Structure 1
């Protein structure tokens, strides 16, 4: 009899290993295991994972169907994943369990999901390809930590540099190169391939290119797209805009696409050189980027303080000094408590 640890050792949730098919199976299993425990942010991540590739949803739904079959086996007899599968195979009539507490038990769910993986592997459901589907050549998740900048070469030869605290999903098939920037910032140096468009999405924004260099920055309230070379097309809510080299646009879900404006090319990849250069940028966007370089937290407090505009250059090597410089520049007060900094308007001075 297989012990639970042996079974769950097969459910590898390390998303940076194995083949693309196995990777999706592992991701689907991971999401199903924690489905009842997702917080709001995780639910958003799950939905994004589900829609990034049709193969994600196909495999996840197969696993979900198998779990629903397994959960119909009487709980009292379900102490082992292999036993669950055997009971399901040998039962001519399956009875729904009435033991709600046991059916929702976390440990039981682990057994049930493990049994579901075994069942669909036995039935060959994972391997069934949908008609007309383009097989995924490579799929990967890239993620950086606070203050970490990393460069990755994709299987098509394109190069992606991720800024700190960033997460990128990459799915490449014979027909399309699809990337999803879930957080942070990425600089993309794209190898031209007319047969396979290179599409980067972030939030509801989609950026389509053939061969170019551009930067995408995930801001709190908008997505910034800046082009260093070539041309890209940005789409949001059915509206489209084309950007040439040396142009930038902001895409906001509530306000749509901004006007395309010129940008100094040195501003586009400044962060790769350890510099943050801002030209009439709102303080809120600057603080959001600084927080990706800082192990603590920077908080802006006060009406309209986040909208204060800044034109300046800072080094990423000494974030506390940057905070103090910002405070002096904008006539703000700063308060430090451990690794947390508050930027606020000066307190009103009462006079008699």
Structure 2
């Protein structure tokens, strides 16, 4: 069963994130066409998925529709050495950024068109948290931007968390275990309360009360109250630690709690609550570490609170686009 408006918001947010990835690369090369590293990064990104090429072509068509400049050719192979032109002035780079935002406002989303994946059974939009009661009485809360599928059978209650954070309060039923699939990770319980967070880089599981069994890459582990496990998507590496119960699923109370996490992860979490897209185009800034508690009720303020102490800055490019950059370039 789909949730109409929330489902549309989730699909739009997912599409916006993909557009933001293309936009960051487009802006980088538009402001510095001789950036060999930027072109190599673009080539890798385009090769990763046919969908990336579709979004890139839509971005170029929209850019040309503004009548500002011709297309920016995507690299077909390793870039040849070129003479680096003079770096555009800071004012020119700012004007380019605003022009790009204007081109997006003309309708790149319509050019890309359609959802990035088929509709999930339950979704939460950027407006807030979705509260769900399943047919057995188990309760699920989905954070903004999260998506869940449900497949109950006579011997097993199974759900799949596609993306984002969720908190589960499972009704006891020893004859029908409750199983959550999150990518390559499987979590099994009979009755307990726990949180799962599916992000771009990892799957996190933490237990508030009761116990769960986590299976990943053929390995199994039991988690008790106050225990947390994080499994990296890239290589399956596992980090297991303890966490205060009050720090489990803090998004339920409108808070983002991070401890020594990359800024890119903070941006991903905040973006779920932002009605638009956030561009983090500075690779060095993306890896800077952040610790703090942030108010998700005001995503832009939360983002500034994370970015500005690192010397970065945030610019609003239109009503739905925020750009995060490193320390200001004096040129």
Query: Residue 305 of structure 1: CA displacement?
Result: 2.5
Q: Distance in 1 between matches of 2:144 and 2:257?
A: 16
Q: Distance in 2 between matches of 1:318 and 1:226?
A: 26
Superposition pairs of residues 1-352 of structure 1, within 5 angstroms: 15=2, 141-338=121-318, 339-347=320-328
Q: Distance in 2 between matches of 1:144 and 1:322?
A: 20
Query: Residue 152 of structure 1: CA displacement?
Result: 1.1
TM-score normalized by structure 1? 0.58
TM-score normalized by structure 2? 0.61
Please name the residue that 1:80 is paired with.
none
Q: Distance in 1 between matches of 2:179 and 2:207?
A: 14
- Check conservation: 1:167, 1:182, Cα contact below 8 A: yes
Q: 1:168-193: CA deviations, max 9, x gaps?
A: 11111120010001122210001121
Query: Residue 164 of structure 1: CA displacement?
Result: 0.8
Q: Distance in 2 between matches of 1:217 and 1:206?
A: 13
Q: Distance in 2 between matches of 1:299 and 1:241?
A: 37
More displaced stretch, 303-312 vs 238-247: 303-312
Query: Does the residue aligned with 1:217 lie in a helix, a strand or coil?
Result: strand
Larger RCO, structure (CA 8 Å, separation 6 or more) = 2
- Check conservation: 1:239, 1:257, Cα contact below 8 A: no
Please name the residue that 2:97 is paired with.
none
Q: Distance in 2 between matches of 1:260 and 1:179?
A: 24
Distance 1:296 1:283, change over 3 A: same
Q: 1:150-178: CA deviations, max 9, x gaps?
A: 21111111110111111111111120010
Q: Distance in 2 between matches of 1:40 and 1:337?
A: 25
The alignment's C-alpha RMSD in Å is 2.2
Query: Residue 344 of structure 1: CA displacement?
Result: 2.0
- Check conservation: 2:203, 2:233, Cα contact below 8 A: no
Structure 2 gap ranges (5+): 5-49, 53-119
Query: Does the residue aligned with 2:145 lie in a helix, a strand or coil?
Result: coil
Q: Distance in 2 between matches of 1:150 and 1:320?
A: 21
- Check conservation: 2:279, 2:323, Cα contact below 8 A: yes
Q: Distance in 2 between matches of 1:329 and 1:262?
A: 28
Query: Residue 15 of structure 1: CA displacement?
Result: 4.3
Q: Distance in 2 between matches of 1:348 and 1:228?
A: 46
Q: 1:21-41: CA deviations, max 9, x gaps?
A: xxxxxxxxxxxxxxxxxx869
- Check conservation: 1:249, 1:257, Cα contact below 8 A: no
Q: Distance in 2 between matches of 1:231 and 1:308?
A: 34
- Return the index of the structure with the highest Cα Rg: 1
Q: Distance in 2 between matches of 1:280 and 1:15?
A: 36
